[in-house]
Amino acid sequence: MQTITVAGGNLFAIAAQYLGDATQWIRIAQQNGLTDPMLSGLVTLTIPDVNPNATGGAPAQ
C-alpha cells in the first residue's frame, strides 16, 4: 500500500497508473471513503496493493 497526493484529476487515471486497470478505481475510492471518481483540489489518497484477482466497475448497491 502506498500514499500519494494529487492535485485534482480522476480515480480512473490513478487506477490505470498504479493498479494497471482503470476499472479498479472503485478499490481506491473505497479505501479512501470516496464515492465520486472525480477529484478536485489537493487530495491525499491511499492506494491499495495491486491485486490481479480484483475486479473493477461500479460499487455494489
Looking at the structure of the chain, the number of domains it has is: 1
The pLDDT value recorded for residue 20 is: 93
Within-domain flag for 22? yes
Is 53 a domain residue?
no
The per-residue pLDDT for 52 is 73
The pTM (predicted TM-score) of the whole model is 0.85
Cβ neighbours, 10 Å, residue 29: 18
User: Which residues constitute the domain of residue 9?
Assistant: 2-47
Please say if the pLDDT value at position 48 is more than 60.
yes
Q: Is residue 58 part of a domain?
A: no
> Does 58 score more than 70 pLDDT?
no
CA dist., res. 9 & res. 21, Å (int): 16
